[in-house]
């Protein structure tokens, strides 16, 4: 079950929207203003956030900006749900990095479909990020291996250097180099 954080200051709309989402089998956490919303996002790290814009304490734009500062929250899909319906408002929201913008009053299908598509996309992006992380970790591991080798070489090279000018070299003193 996916977790949704719903940030909305209007009590009725918050309760109703949460109820609708729960009936669609989502687990919903709510917050009555931007400040509380940001705290809950950091504490619960939901799968997706639905957020109003005009709210006391901290507005929706502030929430989005706040989320982008934390590694845990900056990749969470973010949907604005706002009564600000002018083109410039939508533009601003999207420019700030929101994944979608739904205007009030909204239809249930519109909201659910936006959530599902954002979750699906987020899942792909997450896979990519995981893959990238695995690759990055492997790369780091390779570098570590290479460093180990380098260190080994430095150690094994020492006796060679220190034996410089000496007529004999003990048998078996540099076997690893040959193995490599």
Site residues for other proteins per CB under 8 A: 9-10, 12-13, 16-17, 19-20, 23, 32, 54-57, 59, 83-86, 103-108
Using the minimum distance from each CB to other proteins, give the nearer residue, 14 or 118: 14
- In terms of Cα–Cα distance, which of 53, 96, 73 is closest to 3? 73
Tell the smallest beta-carbon distance from residue 120 to other proteins (Å). Answer: 23
Tell me which long-range contacts 40-46 makes (C-beta under 8 A, separation of at least 24): 40/5, 40/7, 41/5, 41/67, 41/73, 41/76, 42/70, 42/72, 42/73, 44/3, 44/5, 45/72, 45/73, 45/76, 46/3, 46/4, 46/5, 46/76
Tell the smallest beta-carbon distance from residue 24 to other proteins (Å). Answer: 10
Beta carbons of 2 and 19 less than 8 angstroms apart? no
Using the minimum distance from each CB to other proteins, give the nearer residue, 56 or 97: 56
Tell the smallest beta-carbon distance from residue 101 to other proteins (Å). Answer: 14
Tell the smallest beta-carbon distance from residue 110 to other proteins (Å). Answer: 11
Using the minimum distance from each CB to other proteins, give the nearer residue, 68 or 103: 103
Using the minimum distance from each CB to other proteins, give the nearer residue, 12 or 179: 12
Length of the chain in terms of residues written: 180
Tell the smallest beta-carbon distance from residue 12 to other proteins (Å). Answer: 4
| DSSP three-state, residue 37 | helix
Give the torsion through C-alpha atoms of 168, 171, 175, 178, to 10 deg: 70
Task: Please state at what angle helix 11-23 crosses helix 108-162, rounded to 10 degrees.
Answer: 80
Tell the smallest beta-carbon distance from residue 40 to other proteins (Å). Answer: 15
Using the minimum distance from each CB to other proteins, give the nearer residue, 62 or 163: 62
Using the minimum distance from each CB to other proteins, give the nearer residue, 8 or 122: 8
């Amino acid at each position: 079950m996916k977790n949704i954080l719903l940030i909305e200051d209007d009590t009725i709309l918050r309760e109703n929207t949460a109820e609708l989402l729960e009936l669609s089998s989502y687990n919903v956490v709510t917050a009555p203003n931007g400040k509380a919303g940001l705290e809950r996002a950091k504490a619960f790290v939901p799968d997706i956030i639905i957020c109003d814009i005009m709210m006391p304490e901290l507005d929706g734009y502030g929430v989005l900006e706040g989320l982008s500062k934390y590694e845990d929250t900056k990749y969470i899909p973010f949907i604005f749900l706002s009564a600000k319906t002018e083109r410039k408002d939508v533009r601003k929201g999207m420019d700030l990095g929101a994944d979608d913008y739904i205007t009030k009053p909204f239809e249930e299908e519109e909201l659910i479909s936006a959530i599902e598509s954002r979750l699906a996309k987020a899942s792909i992006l997450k896979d990519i990020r995981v893959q990238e992380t695995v690759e990055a970790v492997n790369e780091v591991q390779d570098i570590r291996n290479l460093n180990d080798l380098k260190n080994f070489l430095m150690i094994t090279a020492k006796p060679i250097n220190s034996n410089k000018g000496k007529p004999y070299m003990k048998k078996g003193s540099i076997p690893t180099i040959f193995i490599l």
